[in-house]
Structures are given as C-alpha cells and as structure tokens.
Amino acid sequence: MFACVLAEVLRPGDRVVVGQATSEPVGLVEDLFAAATHIDDLSVFCGYSLNPAWKDAVPDTLQVISYCGLGAIGALTLHGRAKVIPFAMSQLSAALAARTLPVDVVLLQVSPADADGYHSLGLAADYVWEAAQLARVVVAEVNARVPITRSQCRLHCSQIVIARTCDTPLPEVRPEPVGEVQTRVAREVAKLVPDGATVQIGIGKLSDAIAHALRDRRGLKVRSGMVGDWFPSLVAAGAIDTSTPDACLASLAVGSSALYDWLDCSNLLGFALPEHLAVPVRDSPFMAINSGIEVDLRGQVNAEFLGHRYVGASSGQPDYFRAAQRSAGGLAILALPSANERGDVSRIVPRLASGYVTSAQSDVDVIVTEQGIADIRATDFGERRRRITAIADPRMRGALSPEE
C-alpha cells in the first residue's frame, strides 16, 4: 500500500533526494527500491546513511549519487555503484539553489506535527531542507521517535505527502573506546582552545577524545556540522555556554539512543543549515577542528581518498577552516594521529599520494598530532616542512625527505 504512494508521484527521469542519517526514511527508501524496477531512469541522491539496505538491496536500475563515501553508501562507492560528486556543504547548497543538482522528489523523515500543523526535521537541518523547497513533491515518513527540535527548518503538513507513520528507533552510532593516541592528540588540541571559544568538532573517536579534553573549559559555544554523544557530556561538565541564545548550533546529531533521548528533553542545541554555521561568532574565537586521512609537508590535507578508494568526504572542512581564519583569534586546526592504527604507515607524507586535496595549504593554520603542534601560519615552504616533520612519528621522520 505504501509503495503505491511513490508510484503515484514518481515519474520517469525523476531525480530523488533522500534525507541523510536520522533524517532518512527507511521505509520510503525500501519503497523507492521497489519502484525503481518499473519506473525508468530514476536517480537518487543520498549522503551519510546508516541504513544497511544500501549495501545489498539497491536495484541495478537505480542510479545512486552521493557527496561522500561514508556509512552504508560507502559500500556502493567502493564497487562503483554510486557516483560521488565531491561537494563541500556550501557547494551542495549552491548546486541545489542553482538547480545544477536537480531535484524532483524529496523523501525524508519528520516528527509528528505540532499544534499548528508543523513537522520538525528533528536532528537534521541540511541539504534535504533546501531540496524540499525546490522539489515538485515532498514525501514524508512521520516517526514518533523524531524529536521536535529548535530550528527554523519546519514543514507544514500542507507541504508534504505523508506516506506512513511509524515508531521506528533512530539509527545509532555508539561511541567507540578512545585509545591512548587519540587521547594524546586531544590533549595537544586542548592547549589551543581558550575559554569562551566556539568549537567545531564532528563525530568519531578523535572528536570524543577532544571533547573530553575540553571538559575544564568554560563558556564554550558550538558550531558543528555533526554533533555526537560528546555534547551532553560537555554540558554536564559545565563547559558549555548555556545562557547565550543560539550558543550551540549543529546541522546533524548522530550518536546513541541516550543522545537522542537527551536532545528530546533539552532545547539547548539548535539546528541550522550548514551555511549558517560556518561563520565567525562575535567575540568568540572560532576553533575549527577537523581531521584527515593524510597531510603533506606543504600542509595540504586529504580527507577523502584511502589509496584509490573514496572513503571520506569534503563535507564542511574547507568551509569551517575558512570561517575560523576570518574569526579574530580563531584557528583552522587539523588534528590526526601521526601514523595509522597499526603504526606502520605515516599519516604525514612528503606529498599527497592520491593527488586529491580536500583542504589547501592556505586553509590550515595548525597541525596537531600526539607528537605536538605545528603552527604553519606565515611560514614559507621550507619552514613548514621542518615544523610538520617534527610532529611526525619519530620512526618515520627519516622517510620524510624535505624538498628544498
């Protein structure tokens, strides 16, 4: 019955945009896969997905497009079943607005309507909202588990076709144990972050470690594309500014059910579009803290390719780094372990092997590993090579032959 909803609105050649992470409507994606077997020339754009159906249930007739190689979509990019358009978040927004990335139908997950008939997008405020303003039709799955959050991204019931209601648990990414190396990197990063700063961190083990290292700060604000379980932990530690309106804003929240329950009960974290996050905050130095797969001796960052495989995303890294550089006292900080988890491959390299640059040498202010801090601002190539080599794994510094 529900698949009939899509059969009524989809047309041959339609370009479908699907919400990502907690905004992805799992049931509607299943319906899309079924519809693609008898509707010609359908394509779908989806970002970071936690839905395992993308790994083995995508029909050959459906063309898949993404901006990343993360989550369940990564299996498709690995085998050439998904085309990657390497958008930074600001570029993705611009492409939708200019219709160079066309959208006909949007599929997303929303909260139950409030008393005025508005549905919240819950823990997501990103490209799916912008696509919904441009699409011919918006089809929604109303999930009782999606919290009503503080955001201007709301859809009135008159703007959407409701395909179904459900009470499905939101997809989880549980925190992983933080290792000694991540802890040491985080301690070095924390040396750079003053009280009252605005931080952009992200999710993952290193992000969790950095947040833990910032527990003794006070008055921190947040502008982050993704927020994880570290956020309520920082609030509990007294590190977060809880008195300034809109002190803490994110585009996505992804984590455990405990995080989702906390956000459902708290109004502290607001949700805003990426272009409203990557901007300096008045009287608060912006500390944009990002990671990468490797960095070279010029300060160029690769956060997307592992060998020849596309496994990451450009995402908001360039946007946040440039926002930090426009902020008085702000820093564009690249944080990463000096070697891979096995300890046999340096993540500081003479030159990026893939040739693919996520963030340019001019976008990075400081590089941090567990070996220390390399401030490469206002340095020539020779000096920055020396400083970056000094924070490489000591066992591998000899292979980093500085090019004079």
Predicted local distance difference test score (pLDDT) of residue 88: 85
Average pLDDT score over residue span 367-372? 98
Pick 353 or 388 by higher pLDDT.
Answer: 388
Predicted local distance difference test score (pLDDT) of residue 89: 84
Claim to verify: residue 185 and residue 68 sit in the same structural domain: no
* 301 in any annotated domain: yes
* 174 in any annotated domain: no
Residue whose C-alpha is closest to residue 338's, from 401, 295, 398: 295
C-beta neighbour count of 270 within 10 angstroms:
18
Between CA 76 and CA 374 the distance in angstroms is 37
* 94 in any annotated domain: yes
Claim to verify: residue 143 and residue 224 sit in the same structural domain: no
Q: Which of 162-171, 211-220, 341-350, 353-362 has the highest mean pLDDT?
A: 211-220
* 175 in any annotated domain: no
Predicted local distance difference test score (pLDDT) of residue 3: 62
Sequential DSSP letters for 359-397? B-TTT-SEEEETTEEEE-TT--HHHHHHHHHTTS-GGGG
Q: What is the domain extent for residue 89?
A: 2-166
Predicted local distance difference test score (pLDDT) of residue 402: 54
CATH number of the domain encompassing residue 388: 3.40.1080.10
Q: Tabulate helix, strand, coil % of the chain (nearest 5).
A: 30, 25, 45
Claim to verify: residue 366 and residue 235 sit in the same structural domain: yes
Answer with the one of 166, 196, 231 that is the final residue of a domain.
Answer: 166
Answer with the one of 132, 166, 200 that is the final residue of a domain.
Answer: 166
Claim to verify: residue 264 and residue 354 sit in the same structural domain: yes
The count of structural domains within the chain is 2
Claim to verify: residue 58 and residue 90 sit in the same structural domain: yes
Alpha helices by DSSP H, listed for 10-153, are 26-35, 53-56, 73-78, 89-98, 127-132
Q: What percent of the chain has pLDDT over 90?
A: 88
* 173 in any annotated domain: no
Predicted local distance difference test score (pLDDT) of residue 1: 47
Claim to verify: residue 185 and residue 161 sit in the same structural domain: no
* 404 in any annotated domain: no
pTM of full prediction above 0.85 = yes
Which pLDDT tens digit goes with each residue over 82-96?
999 998 888 898 899
Give residue 5's pLDDT band: very low, low, confident or very high (50, 70, 90). Answer: confident
Claim to verify: residue 160 and residue 30 sit in the same structural domain: yes
Task: Give, for 317, the enclosing helix (H) or strand (E).
Answer: helix 317-326
Reply yes or no on whether the pLDDT at 2 is more than 80.
Answer: no
Claim to verify: residue 201 and residue 161 sit in the same structural domain: no
Cα 76 to the center of its chain, rounded Å: 19
Reply yes or no on whether the pLDDT at 403 is more than 70.
Answer: no
* Average pLDDT taken over every residue of the chain: 94
Claim to verify: residue 273 and residue 298 sit in the same structural domain: yes
